[in-house]
Amino acid sequence: MAAPRWTNNFIMRIKFLLLGLCCLIGTAHAQVQETAPAGPHVRLETVADHPSALYQFEQHHMVSEDGQRNYRIDIAIPHKREPNAGYPVLYMLDGNSAMAMLTEQDLTILSGENPPVLVAIGYDTPGRLDVNARSYDYTPPIFENGKQVQAPTVRGRVGGGADIFLQFIATHIKPLVRARANIDSRREYLWGHSYGGLFALHTLFTQPNAFARYIVGDPSAWWYNGALMDEWRSFDTERAVGKRVAILIGTKPRASAKTKRKPSRSSQKNELSAYVRDAGREIAEGLRQAGIDASYQIFPEYGHGEMSRVSLERALQIATAP
């Protein structure tokens, strides 16, 4: 008999607290690192910079309601005639990075029977990431003792804006996309990696009907002492019936540094990766037990950074499925 969900969560919380003590011995950089942005004067070249017989590319710019974050929205619309019900659509977080990873071969594969509209939600910066903006947008609000924590901070970056960002997607980005192409609202998919994966799962646990399918790569479930797992613990899985969820985890260990004085950064990162792996497995198993179409897959040959491309490839495959 499987252990009760509350037991699994309790064990994971204990593991995380022990891990936190270990991380305090090291440095603040011991937590999972995100891909560093390109230099301020380096503009990423993407597939949208070249003529395509398969897709039409558009770029739009938006500003957050508080004026603090500038977004760049890349939309790729298939040249192939739209289905009667409309195109499926794949929303890709970390849009700058996603566009940089897309290839012409990807577009060729996508342009088969069910070509999706691609929407890359990025930031108006020349590099792959705006780490401060995504730290705010992709992380959930935190509540302690019934009160919301103001400006929850991890790794020196303020978070907690996921609900505001999700509302921005619903009221600004989705209407823009629907104005540019006929969309099948039953086939709206969300992909996110790392902090983006954290946002995708938070969306599933709080507003599951925002998207039909969720593709999650290496979600940063460790963020703010594993706050995501608190959301999972209180989540009514009946709300996700009819959804499809794919959780993809890279388990390639990092090379350990040679030192006897304190735990190496790589060993601490491996501990955090193990936490992400266990969290992903628990969530997927819990969803399946509730009758939800959820899959969980590990990739021993890929590390955290590499999983960005691996999980995006899977998202592209899912977006073309019937």
Q: What is the pLDDT of residues 67-108, one digit of tens each?
A: 999 999 999 999 999 999 999 999 999 999 999 999 999 999
Question: What confidence score (pLDDT) does residue 33 get?
Answer: 33
Question: What confidence score (pLDDT) does residue 112 get?
Answer: 87
Question: What confidence score (pLDDT) does residue 273 get?
Answer: 85
**Residue 72's beta-bridge partner residues?**
61, 122
Question: What confidence score (pLDDT) does residue 1 get?
Answer: 47
Q: Do residues 284 and 5 make contact, with C-beta atoms less than 8 angstroms apart?
A: no
How many angstroms separate the CA atoms of 283 and 275, rounded? Answer: 12
Low-confidence ranges of the chain (pLDDT < 50): 1-2, 17-41, 257, 259-260
Name the pTM for this structure. 0.86
146 burial (CB, 10 Å; 0-12 / 13-18 / 19+) is: exposed
Nearest to 195 by CA among 252, 144, 286, 123: 123
CA dihedral (173, 308, 286, 16) positive or negative: negative
**Cβ count within 10 A of residue 15:** 16
**Cβ count within 10 A of residue 28:** 10
**Residue 158's beta-bridge partner residues?**
153
How many angstroms separate the CA atoms of 195 and 215, rounded? Answer: 13
Question: What confidence score (pLDDT) does residue 5 get?
Answer: 55
Residue 118 carries which side chain, given as an amino acid letter? L
Question: What confidence score (pLDDT) does residue 8 get?
Answer: 53
